[in-house]
Amino acid sequence: MDRKQTVFIVDDDEGIREGLSLLLETVGQSCELYSSALEFLESYDPNKSGCLILDIRMPRMTGLDLQEKLKEKKSVLPIIFITGHGDIPMAVEAMRRGALDFMRKPFREQDLLDRINEALDSDAGKRKALVDRQQLNDKIASLTERERQVFHRVADGEMNKVIAMDLAISERTVEVHRSQVMKKLKVRTLAQLVRIKMELEVSNLT
């Protein structure tokens, strides 16, 4: 589990903070400890990858409050809530608001470690997807208006002839634009082109 990811632990109970950090230490996972939600917020860095283990009940600012604050900051950091006996309604609320998971105290260490791995993977995946989407957007942005029109029609499976007629350009000109699009989007086959178009449509949906 040796990654450049950090497990952020926010709990007002020192015993639990220490226990968690010691356990993570034994599996070589680096972690940062915070005794309150505010303390964490102050040093929050959105670029740091990892996951957040958050006590749902804390004085001053609760775990749920912190979840809201992070959402406002468009944080993608996956959150695993630590809940106690009788905190089920709060845990449900936390999940509704997008928490990755919750764990009831006391917890089995393997379960915990598994959840943490999942969270870290999730964070890593999300961060990679974000990077890919950005690259794609950049490529699309590099197309000229005419090239973009041609890209969409080609990807929709239209014949060159039909495209030339619709756009009132020569068939030859369509072919030039098409090869230009393939070059800019760094694809060689029509199938690849179609996939990019689909990715775009999916990301537009989300």
* Least distance in angstroms from the C-beta of 31 to other proteins: 12
CA distances 158 to 29, 36, 65, 81, 202, Å, are: 52, 59, 52, 51, 21
DSSP 167: H
Minimum CB–partner distance for residue 11 and other proteins (Å) = 9
- Under the binding rule (CB under 8 A), the answer on residue 33 touching other proteins is no
Shortest spacing between CB 133 and other proteins, in angstroms: 38
Beta carbons within 8 Å of 1's beta carbon, 6+ residues apart: 27, 28, 29, 113, 117, 120
- 46 sits near other proteins (criterion: CB under 8 A): no
| Integer CA distances (angstroms), 150 to 25, 134, 172, 186, in order | 55, 22, 12, 16
One-letter amino acid for residue 191 of the chain:
A
Name the residue nearer to other proteins (CB basis): 65 or 118.
Answer: 65
Site for other proteins in 63-82 (CB under 8 A): none
**Residues 84-103 contacting other proteins, CB under 8 A:** 84-86
Interaction between residue 15 and other proteins (CB under 8 A): yes
Please report whether residue 158 would count as binding other proteins according to CB under 8 A: no
Degrees, nearest 5: CA angle 67-5-112: 65
Residues making contact with other proteins (CB under 8 A): 12-13, 15-16, 18-20, 22-23, 25-27, 57-60, 62, 84-86, 105-109
